[in-house]
Amino acid sequence: MSAVYINSASCISVQDTLKENFFQDLKADQSAQILKAVEPNYKEFIPPAMSRRMSKTVKMSSVASHHALKEAGIEQPDAIIVGTGMGCSQDSEKFLKNVIDNKEEFLTPTFFIQSTHNTVAGQIALGLQCHAYNFTYVNTSSSLEFSFLDAKLQINDGEADNILVGAADEQTNRTMELYCLNNTIKKEEDLPADYLHSETDGVIWGEGAAFFVLGKEKTENSYAKLKDIQIINRLDIEEVPSFIADFLAKNNVKHEDIDVVILGFSSDAASDVYYAKAMDVFQNSALLYYKHLSGEFNTASGFSIFMACHILKEQQIPGVMRINPEKKAEIRNILLYNHLAGSDHNLTLLERA
């Protein structure tokens, strides 16, 4: 297979990741149940009349995709592929509320039309007047990874040269209430959260959008080479070492070749045991975590891939992400491991461009 490069990376998250030199200002908030994204001034990118009709996911994605395309110097991508776990859930809630309030009569279709998961990819295409391949993956915590796999296959098959790939998820009031009721979100009495040694279940929930331009040619701005992705729905904890070993062997990479491992510790004691097991496999790698900076959500791995890209390009690791003090003279290979509540385990291997 030919190489696939990540030629730009843009992210809207709980951190102010749109500004330059954001590495120095990363701050963890472990005392709130829900973390809100730091949103840009949308008026600079979207006409106010259009912005009022857009959900938060669409607005975040429009701005993040704009930055990604601008950084890559691409006006028209050959494809647009978006991953999302919850889609435009704000409009879904508004539509359902109208159904109840109006007793299923005299309903306007706007919220229903805008509530579909593929609204994000569609709105980006409309803004660009792009008539190319347009697809949305909805696979919980592997949505972005499936999008990357699709893009990688298309580039390898010669069907596209540059593809816009992204992922986004938003919060909604009612969904957050339900997540608190079923203990998906950590109870207030269990805060502040201990991400690495948690003894309680539940997570701190976040939101965000991350977009990348994948290309077949390396450029001056290239962040990383996308080597491979592996996804499995269910995994016994005893199978974690072999899951990782088989993936590395498939890519002719040894454990000692992995300079940095980024793990998705979420402060959920029940599911973080997978990451603890993975740590045992890498005795000589720099171990990092990130969800104390982004919160947990379906496509939180977008934030981790964004951070991995900057770590590879800038050859430095933010101290707030470190689990161990291991330091490398050069960072060449980064392995990312993520899942959501013990399901949809995925590995992503990036190499310095």
184 with 93, same domain: the answer is yes
179 with 247, same domain: the answer is no
- End residue of a domain, out of 215, 237, 271: 215
Is residue 235 exposed (0-12), middle (13-18) or buried (19+ Cβ within 10 Å)?
A: middle
Q: Which two tokens stand for residue 263?
A: 């793990």
The DSSP element (H or E) to which 136 belongs, if any, is strand 133-137
From the CB of residue 5, how many other CB atoms can be counted at a distance below 10 Å? Answer: 23
- End residue of a domain, out of 176, 191, 215: 215
Residues near 181 by beta carbon (within 8 Å), at least 6 away in sequence: none
**Bridge partner residues of 55 (DSSP):** none
Q: What is the pLDDT of residue 34?
A: 97
Q: What is the domain range of residue 68? A: 5-215
Give, for all 353 residues of the chain, the pLDDT tens digit: 578 999 999 999 999 999 988 998 999 999 999 999 999 999 999 888 888 888 899 999 999 999 999 999 999 999 999 999 988 777 777 777 878 888 888 777 777 777 788 889 999 999 999 999 999 999 989 999 999 999 999 999 999 999 999 999 999 988 999 999 999 999 999 999 999 999 999 999 999 999 999 999 999 999 999 999 999 999 999 999 999 999 999 999 999 999 999 999 999 999 999 999 999 999 899 999 999 999 999 999 999 999 999 999 999 999 999 999 999 999 999 999 999 999 999 999 999 99
168 with 263, same domain: the answer is no
96 with 188, same domain: the answer is yes
Q: What is the pLDDT of residue 95?
A: 76
User: Could you tell me how many helices (H) and strands (E) the chain has, helices first?
Assistant: 11, 10
- End residue of a domain, out of 191, 215, 239: 215
Q: What is the pLDDT of residue 1?
A: 59
Q: Which two tokens stand for residue 240?
A: 């974690």
144 with 196, same domain: the answer is yes
33 with 112, same domain: the answer is yes
209 with 130, same domain: the answer is yes
Instruction: Map tokens 């809630």 to a residue.
Output: 93
The DSSP element (H or E) to which 289 belongs, if any, is strand 286-289
Cβ atoms 273, 247 nearer than 8 A: no
158 with 43, same domain: the answer is yes
Cβ atoms 188, 150 nearer than 8 A: no
Give the CA distances from residue 151 to residues 7, 85, 119, 226, in Å, rounded to whole numbers and listed in that order.
13, 18, 19, 11
Measure the N-to-C terminal CA separation of the chain; round to a whole number of Å: 16
Instruction: Map tokens 């990312």 to a residue.
Output: 336
Q: What is the pLDDT of residue 100?
A: 86
The amino acid that residue 192 corresponds to is P
92 with 186, same domain: the answer is yes
102 with 229, same domain: the answer is no
Q: Where are the beta strands (DSSP E) in 138-285?
A: 162-169, 208-215, 224-232, 260-263
pTM for the predicted model, two decimal places? 0.94
102 with 142, same domain: the answer is yes
Residue positions counted in the chain: 353
148 with 17, same domain: the answer is yes
Residues near 203 by beta carbon (within 8 Å), at least 6 away in sequence: 184, 185, 186, 193, 266, 267, 268, 291, 295, 296
Residue 267's domain is classified under what CATH number?
Answer: 3.40.47.10
Domain count for the chain? 2
**Bridge partner residues of 116 (DSSP):** none
